[in-house]
Amino acid sequence: MSDFDSSTPLSDRVLTVRVEPAGYVRLSWDRNLRITGEMARGAMALVDATNAGRERPLLVDMAGTAALTRDARMTFSRRCSASRIALLGSSPVDRVIANFALGVSGVPVPTKFFTSESLAVAWLTDGDVGT
């Protein structure tokens, strides 16, 4: 698992955040991470800074995430500048992590898990596509 070193900016370590041409924000976590509350708070702050006062849909590429701590799950249950959230994974383990996080903590905006990026993007941009 990757270690978290608080002396290095979060964006230089474990994730990237960018606005895609279709207008949604993409947050991509590095693989094999145990996401802590501190990491989750940093990620949410980066998304909010990227959105600069406006709400946008958010695609979270969580493929290969090792685990979410309880603090991270609680942090992700708070409102940020995402108008809806698509969680993108690639394995049954990713689905279990996402379902556990969604079921235990709840989410403040519509949120769905996908294994298909095209379906996730369609749901984010159109809102009418199922999983």
Q: Tell me the pTM.
A: 0.85
- The answer to whether residue 80 is domain-embedded is yes
- The answer to whether residue 33 is domain-embedded is yes
Across 8-12, 40-44, 121-125, 126-130, least confident range: 8-12
Reported confidence tier of residue 9, pLDDT bands at 50, 70, 90:
low
- Would you give the distance in Å from CA 22 to the centre of its chain? 17
80: domain CATH number? 3.40.970.30
Q: Considering all CA atoms of the chain, what is the largest pairwise distance in Å, rounded to the nearest integer?
A: 42
d(CA 110, CA 36): 23
| Domain region containing 25 | 10-121
d(CA 91, CA 61): 12
- The answer to whether residue 129 is domain-embedded is no
Q: Report in angstroms the alpha-carbon separations of 52 from 38, 47, 56, 81.
A: 21, 9, 10, 9
Residue with more model confidence, 11 or 15: 15
- The answer to whether residue 110 is domain-embedded is yes
- The answer to whether residue 114 is domain-embedded is yes
For residue 6 the two structure tokens come to: 């608080």
pLDDT in tens, 75-94: 988 999 999 999 999 999 99
- The answer to whether residue 131 is domain-embedded is no
- The answer to whether residue 102 is domain-embedded is yes
Reported confidence tier of residue 127, pLDDT bands at 50, 70, 90:
low
Number of domains in the chain: 1
Strand-pairing partners, residue 29, are 15
- The answer to whether residue 101 is domain-embedded is yes
